[in-house]
Amino acid sequence: MGGNKNRKKRRREERPTIHPKNKYSENPPDFSLLASLYPSFHTFVFYSSDGRPRIDWTDFNATRELTRVLLLHDHSLNWWIPDGQLCPTVPNRSNYIHWIEDLLLSNIIPKTEINRDKVRGFDIGTGANCIYPLLGASLLGWSFVGSDVTDVALEWAERNVKDNPHISELIEIRRVESGENTLSVEDSQNGRSSGSESKIQFTDNDTRYCGLPILVGVVRDGEKFDFCMCNPPFFETMDEAGLNPKTSCGGTPEEMVCPGGERAFITRIIEDSSVLKQTFRWYTTMVGRKSNLKFLISKLREVGVSIVKTTEFFQGQTCRWGLAWSFVPPVKKIISLHVAGKRNLSFMFEGLQRQYSAVDVLQSIESFFCHNGALCNLNASSFTIDISASHDHCKAILKNGEHRDIFADCEDAKDTSQSTSCLGLPINNLCFRISVFQQAPGTLLVKGSPKHGDSQASGTVSLILQRLEEVLKLKFCREKSTVNLS
Ligand code: SAH
């Protein structure tokens, strides 16, 4: 019991609570200082028995005043919202901004040629508080379109932008109109879309979104964005939203509730993204429930995104997830064997030309391994091949691949007294299975499973899969494309 408790405690302590670039990661807000500087905030600060300055987190006026003084003091932003509107906490909202900053800097996908240094984002449901555009523009100089549907959100978002003339040029607030004259996802699926190849069918009635447009019909012709972001209405009903007894962040039904909850709202963002594809380099959203995260990642697989990224945001008592995806093909990484990197034991094989079937691919995999001397046993009914490859066979398989240079360097240093070479190739036979799954027409999932799951074996199988991917692409694909789900 005690051990379990300690483990839990340790896990909690290890949790990254705040992004390292976040202004508050080293220095949390100093209530005493703020109270001494801002009399309007002073009213809400009291001192607990341990002498620490505190505010009553259940008092909306206190949390709103804290947000106001933090934005003013630390970000030189003038800001206000009317009673009852959703009140953002500045450190939490900054985390999401910095996560996007990381994504944009990461080079996972190539930079766009035009406006390389000017980042442009789209905040879906910016709210009266307009917090993301204000923070993104003031911290990082990003420009934004912030969309919303309610009069009060649009009016106050506009006010918050106008009250900050130094960044007001960077932010456009856009009203979402009902979709009469705009292209809807349904239209695009019925062939009204120009050139977009959305092949997916959205049949999930329980997650059907029936609100106003989100991206399709709001994004204008010819617009391009580096990213979109969204703090979606998380709940299905106001009852479900409840009010956290420990805090008072306000929130009206329009801000908190959407029929079908965040699952429906984000599913629509995914559907829209599969129509708009590379209009955005990154699509991102917050997700409130882990079970929804799983569901949404499976939706993303269905629509054939090229990359998925997730993160966790720990926000006081609650945990939220960040979900990002892209349709831009990722930059091919040079994987260092020394880092041993990520051991991908599968790859998504897209763009299989029509005249080829999964059986052709399976047979081609078999002849690739046989050609390099390995023993193969193909099972056409389960779409698997069992392979047994010696050290020399593995060398032959990897010889012409991406890692041949590293391989050459390593050959000299090989120490045969070990059970593996410096490449991690086995001295004894490596036994593994390759399975081929049909994901969608023209898309196969190829998986490798080492018979003995030790890390050396999976490292080698991972390298072999990379080589196999190169070989299959050359033989069967129209164009190069890889899915990297991480
Ligand atoms: N971004 C703010 C507000 C989030 S609340 C924050 O993080 O605090 C969610 C917002 O989404 C609300 O303001 C709501 O009016 C808005 N919204 C709901 N449906 C929308 C739609 N279809 N398009 C744009 N905004 C929408």
Answer yes or no: is the C-beta of 125 below 6 A from any ligand 1 atom: yes
Which of 425 and 46 is assigned the larger pLDDT? 46
Question: Can you tell me which atom of ligand 1 is nearest the CA of 127?
Answer: 13
Lowest mean pLDDT among 21-30, 57-66, 112-121: 112-121
- Is a pLDDT exceeding 80 seen at residue 243? no
d(CA 122, ligand 1 centre) in Å: 12
Answer yes or no: is the C-beta of 254 below 6 A from any ligand 1 atom: yes
Answer yes or no: is the C-beta of 445 below 6 A from any ligand 1 atom: no
- Is a pLDDT exceeding 90 seen at residue 460? no
d(CA 303, ligand 1 centre) in Å: 24
Ligand 1: which of 148, 256, 313 to mutate, judged by most atoms within 8 Å of the beta carbon? 148
pTM of the model: 0.66
- pLDDT category at 428 given cuts 50, 70, 90 is confident
Answer yes or no: is the C-beta of 88 below 6 A from any ligand 1 atom: yes
Which of 5 and 76 is assigned the larger pLDDT? 76
Tens of pLDDT along 85-113? 999 999 999 999 999 999 999 888 987 76
Question: Can you tell me which atom of ligand 1 is nearest the CA of 153?
Answer: 13
Which of 339 and 41 is assigned the larger pLDDT? 41
SS3 for the chain, per residue? CHHHHHHHHHHHHHCCCCCCCCCCCCCCCCHHHHHHHCHHHHCCCEECCCCCEECCCCCHHHHHHHHHHHHHHHHCCCCCCCCCCCCCCHHHHHHHHHHHHHHHHCCCCCCCCCCCCCCEEEEECCCCCCHHHHHHHHHHCCEEEEEECCHHHHHHHHHHHHCCHHHHCCEEEEECCCHHHCCCHHHHHCCCCCCCCCCCCCCCHHHCCCCCCCCCCCCCCCCCEEEEEECCCCECCHHHHCCCCCCCCCCCHHHHECCCHHHHHHHHHHHHHHHHHHHEEEEEEEECCHHHHHHHHHHHHHCCCCEEEEEEEEECCEEEEEEEEECCCCCCCCCCCCCCCCCCCEEEEECECCCCCHHHHHHHHHHHHHHCCCEEEEECCCCEEEEEECHHHHHHHHHCCCCHHHHHHHHHCCCCCCCECCCCCECCCEEEEEEEEEEECCEEEEEEEECCCCHHHHHHHHHHHHHHHHHHHHHHECCCCEEEEC
Ligand 1: which of 96, 228, 231, 272 to mutate, judged by most atoms within 8 Å of the beta carbon? 231
- Is a pLDDT exceeding 60 seen at residue 425? no
Q: Whose CA is nearest to atom 9 of ligand 1?
A: 255
Question: Can you tell me which atom of ligand 1 is nearest the CA of 93?
Answer: 7
